[in-house]
Amino acid sequence: MEYSNILYKVEDDIAKIVINRPKALNALNALTVKELAHAFGDAKENASVRVVILTGSGEKAFIAGADINEIKTNLEKGPMVVRGEFAIKGQRLVSTIENLGKPVIAAVKGYALGGGSEIVQACHLVVASEKSRFGQPEINLGFNPCWGGTVRLPLQVGRKKALEMILTGEMIDAKEAYRLGLVNSVVPESDLMPTAESYAKKIIEKSGVAVRLCMDSILEGLEMSKTEALSNEANALGLAAATEDSMEGVLAFLEKRIPVFQNK
């Protein structure tokens, strides 16, 4: 697939996806959503990809939200079009990111609003520049967040803070996002991509099987009872123990050397 609104490349086990609509503050229209879904699908199936880094081009925004002109067009076609063309397709994209089976690291500079904030919530690690801003301003347009913000945001920042952000539509800065646990690191803009790449390289050094099992245990466990989640965790250990990587890790520790994982 040829891309018009994103850039996509794979290098050194890392897939880099850049939303490339800087003049529109990287707003998400239907074509951009389609291209992102395709790129993430490729990253999932590509065995050479271990980690994905997602960022936006330009200086002002990671993703400033949805394309308002396109929303207006959908509104004119009726509420079911808005639901299907905007909400459902957006939710599918965000769920694809969350359930990719490979770590997705968001490198955020500038605004991450609306769908941009919801994509941040779905990413597994988030590095933010000092000047980044996060928010769910949909209520200012007479809408509710509809790409998972009413579900994921309360789990990540707490119910009261999520209600405050969603009901007022006000933004929070990077330091507050870090304090709330929405982002992992806050760095100067010049350190944004190097920090994201550093996270990626650390993960790539680990067993790919173990990384996937850890991610699955956490994400699946959030939707289970405590008893079910603990059983799921034990099952994951059984799968890990059956791999060559688990023996390599133990032997490397005992032999005081760096493990060489084969991801099998």
- One of 118, 130, 189, 248 is an active-site residue; which one? 118
**Is the domain of 111 the same as that of 157?**
yes
Q: Looking at the structure, tell me whether residues 146 and 182 fall in a common domain.
A: yes
In this prediction, residue 131 carries a pLDDT of: 96
Same domain, 85 and 216: no
The active-site residue, picked from 35, 70, 138, 197, is: 138
Query: How far apart, in whole angstroms, are the C-alpha atoms of residue 82 and residue 244?
Result: 49
Q: Is 118 annotated in the active site?
A: yes
The reply to whether 170 and 243 lie within a common domain is no
Cα–Cα dist 174/171, whole Å: 10
- Whether residue 190 is contained in a domain is answered as yes
- Region 89-95 average pLDDT: 95
Residue 118 in domain: yes
Say whether both 222 and 104 belong to one domain: no
> What pTM was estimated for this model as a whole?
0.95
Give the mean pLDDT of 5-26.
97
Same domain, 94 and 224: no
State the chain's maximal CA–CA distance in angstroms: 68
Cα 240 to Cα 63, 202, 207, 246, 249: the distances in Å are 37, 19, 10, 6, 11
Region of 12 on the Ramachandran plot (φ > 0 left; ψ -120 to 50 alpha; else beta): left
> What was the pLDDT predicted at 116?
98
Give yes or no: residues 78 and 148 share one domain. yes
Same domain, residue pair 150 and 49: yes
Assigned domain for 13 exists: yes
Q: Is the pLDDT of residue 80 over 80?
A: no
What are the start-end ranges of the E strands in 31-124?
51-56, 61-63, 104-108, 111-113
* Statement: residue 85 has pLDDT above 80: no
Residue 263 lies in a domain: no
Active site residue 138: yes
Band of pLDDT at residue 152, cut at 50, 70 and 90: very high
pLDDT at 81: 72
Share of the chain above pLDDT 70, in %: 100
The CATH number of whichever domain residue 223 belongs to comes to 1.10.12
* pLDDT tens for each residue of 166-200: 999 999 999 999 999 999 999 999 999 999 999 99
For the chain, the domain total comes to: 2
The answer to the question of residue 182 being in a domain is yes
Residue 47 has pLDDT above 90, yes or no: yes
Residues 21 and 119 both lie in one domain: yes
- Say what the pLDDT of residue 66 is: 87
The boundaries of the domain holding residue 222 are 208-254
Give a yes or no: residue 51 inside a domain: yes
Q: Write down the pLDDT at residue 50.
A: 98
Domain endpoint, select from 204, 222, 244: 204
Q: Is residue 226 part of a domain?
A: yes
Do both 80 and 50 map to the same domain?
Answer: yes
Q: What is the mean pLDDT of the chain?
A: 95
Q: Residue 124 sits in a domain of what CATH number?
A: 3.90.226.10
Whether pLDDT at 12 is above 90: yes
Report pLDDT for 2.
92
What does the chain come to in residues?
264
Residue 212 binned pLDDT confidence (cut-offs 50, 70, 90): very high
For residues 136 and 241, membership in a common domain is answered with: no
* pLDDT in the model for residue 171: 98
Same domain, 128 and 241: no
